[in-house]
Structure 1
Amino acid sequence: MLRPARRHVAALAALLIIWALAARRQTRLARGLAGGDGGREGLAALRAASTQSYTVTDATASGSGLTVKYLLDFEGGERALYKPLRMNFERIGGKDVKDARHLEEPWGEVVASALARVLRLRNVPPAIIMEVPSSTLAAATAPRSLRALLSRCPRYISRRLVRRLAPSISRDGCALRDDVDMVRGALVRWEPHDLVRLARPNRWFLRGARALCGVGACPLSIRERRAWGDLEAFDAILGNYDRANNIFYRGRRIAPLDHNHVGRNLTIARIGWRWCDASPAVAHIVRAAAAREVVHEGCATTDGSLFAAVACEAAPDELPEKFRRILDANAAAYAQHLASPFCRRRRRGDVS
Structure 2
Amino acid sequence: MVVPVILVHGGAGNISDENICEMVKGIKCAVIKGYEVLSNGGNCVDAAQACVEVMEADPAFNAGRGAVLNSFGEVELDAIIMEGKTLNFGSVGAVKNILHPVALARKVMEKSRACMLVGEGAAQFAKDEGFTSTPTYDLVTESSIISYEKFSCNPECADTEFELVCFISKAHFKELCGAGVGTVGAVVLDACGNIASATSTGGTLGKPPGRLGDTPIPGGGCYAQDDVGAVSATGRGESIMRVCLSYRILNLMKQGMSAQKATEEALCYMQSTVGDAAGAITLSNCGDIGIAFCTKRMAWGFKKGKGPIHAGVEMPDHS
Q: TM-score, normalised by structure 1?
A: 0.25
Bigger Rg, structure 1 or 2: 1
Considering Cα pairs closer than 8 Å and 6+ residues apart, tell me whether 1 or 2 has the greater RCO: 2
**Alignment TM-score, normalising by the size of structure 2:** 0.27
Would you tell me which structure has more helix in proportion to its own residues? 1
- Which structure has the highest strand share of the two? 2
